[in-house]
Structure 1
Amino acid sequence: MKTLSQDLIELQQKVRHFIEHEIKPFENDLRQDSHGPSNELRVELIEKARQYNLLTPHASLEMGGQGWTHLQKAVAFEEAGYSPLGPIAMNIHAPDEGNIHLMDIVANESQKKRWLQPMVEGKIRSCFAMTEPAPGAGSDPSMLLTTAVQDGNDYIINGRKWLITGADGAEVAIIMAKMEDGSASMFLTDTSADGFILEKNMNAMDSCFAGGHGILRFENLRIPKENVLGETGKGFKYAQVRLAPARLTHCMRWLGQARRAHDIATEYARERQSFGQRLGDHQGVGFMLADNEQDLLTTRLSIHYCAQVLDMNDKANYESSLVKVISSENIWKIIDRSLQILGGQAITDENLVCKIFKDARGFRIYDGANEVHRMSIAKKLMNRKI
């Protein structure tokens, strides 16, 4: 991208080289199933990122990361996303990326030493348990049903969560629960604790997240008060600390996946002959590729804009909603067009675009359904003073 500084160009090229030469060769590794890459594969990929000094670079300098700005992340995370395994390798995948960011800001020193440091080092994974089956919390977090009742120096957690990304294999969980006064708090717990139950992994469309998506049940899960994340009653506030930046990093990573699909389709359109000429020379196909280029550019510019707003220490809740909708819908159109260009091969596992297509569809739903973001944008727009 011609507007990048020399430092950002060098970062972009470093990550691009890493993904091309170290990670893409693993894309057909058999240590992957419908619930994502195995832990054995994850550990091997993480070691490669460590050797390139690209492991957990978004974490603070104090925790052993590189303290990247949001704009640095925008450039590098797009490159990481060019391979479905790139974010796993660099330890910048969801939900760990967002959890690391949140704990870096909110956790106390004891919690950082016990859980955050091993997360930054890639030794353990985490999950974020907020979403619940109906009638519990989904797009509306105020509908939270999981409860936390104080019992002496402990809190007793009861409830059920689902669609919890990475739950299977996570060693630590951040649980959002409703307090007796109706407020919400976040709690840290080892997943090995009595009363923390993984009911099952859900069979989902995507297969790009380590540990898949699980259903959790808490049965009198006892959590000591020293494992409250931050202060009690501030769970919704802390959720915003996590969600706006994490929402944007999803956009960054998925932009890389969309670019990969577009590149595969473009190469095919250059080589494939149809009705006496290259496939891409037919206007119907050429125009789709041209539309992809436009959507890639507008998405990238939107992401970089929001990243710079965050770098100015703005909460960017409004901007991140705008960019989440723009990105997820543009990215879906790019991938869908790419699949159409590739034809029958792309509806099979013979072509990576099939996986990208299945993986990407959920992005218009998670981290706030696009309709909810549009509601939020409209509400803020109506209340804005001109």
Structure 2
Amino acid sequence: MTSSLFSPVHVGPVALANRVVVSPMCQYSADDGCANDWHLMHLMQLAISGAGLVVLEATAIERRARITHGCLGLYSDANEAALARVMAAARRVAPPQTRWGIQINHAGRKASAQRPWEGRAALGPAEDPWQTEGPSPIAAGGHWHTPREMTHDDIRRVREGFVAATRRAIRLGFDVIEIHAAHGYLIHQFLSPLANQRTDMYGGSLENRLRFPLEIATAVREVLPPKVCLGLRITGSDWTPGGIELAETIVFADALRVRGADYVCVTTGGVVNARIDVRPGYQVPFAAEVKANVKLHTRAVGMIADAHQAETIIASGQADTVALGRAFLDDPRWVWHAAQSLGDEKSITFPPQYERSKPSLWAGADLARPATAKAS
């Protein structure tokens, strides 16, 4: 039996062996933007996961664009060389059909922050903070720095930074470039009236608030080779009155389609603190509405952790692919176990070194994963 989840799909010019995507997950462990041995371990582990696409964490387009001192970057030759080393190792162990993406980002007013395990607050005076920037001089909350309002020259600089980072990613051989336009970072800040109170051509109406994001998407698309896919992570809702609503998201997604985007990954929240009813698949309805209204490959993300849940999302047409993050941190073999649970083990290629752990070859699988074994 071939499941919907493990059926192949094209995303623009890129062919994926299945519909499972490793979501970008910040590791906060880089050295001035440079990947190191932690990333080597992390990405080599995900390389053998069996996911159709692995997307690297939010990667800063310039030094001041980092969320924390530990964020990955693609703003220097040193960054590029360090990531080349890691990617070469990951590709050597990955199945040949694995595709690789990288998410490029500017944190805007959410930059100059502590790593999560250091407190998540804005960097203090003794922690080497830097001046943040954003569409308007409005802090993300009481514990965040107040950003400097970006000038038109700043906007031009950031747009060129996205292009420069994209060129580095192309040299590194990535199949997919994903622009981060959600989770309260800079592009999302320009989109949301909660963060953008400008009175110039980049603020006010939806058309104006879309201008900066669309300029970046267009500029990045122009430098991409035809074989490289362009996607954006966008927000379906700010979960706060006066913020982005789904109708605006649909307009944004269609505008991206017109400008050559190949997919959108629909998430929610992050621009301000909001009450969100987090539950399994809580963001899937937003992706489903975008998919129903825009002729564009649509990815769902957010509390997708069960194989049958993921299968239902794809089989019912709510999304074209699903992205999982913490599910892979919890279980780097999630894809293998999902295939077993769905009775579609033939769709997965095990590394020969690990093949003897397959349930068909190892009776201990029933003891190690009784729920999975029972479901299959």
Please give the TM-score of this superposition, normalised by the length of structure 1. 0.23
Would you tell me which structure has more helix in proportion to its own residues?
1
Please give the TM-score of this superposition, normalised by the length of structure 2. 0.24
Q: Larger Cα Rg: Structure 1 or Structure 2?
A: 1
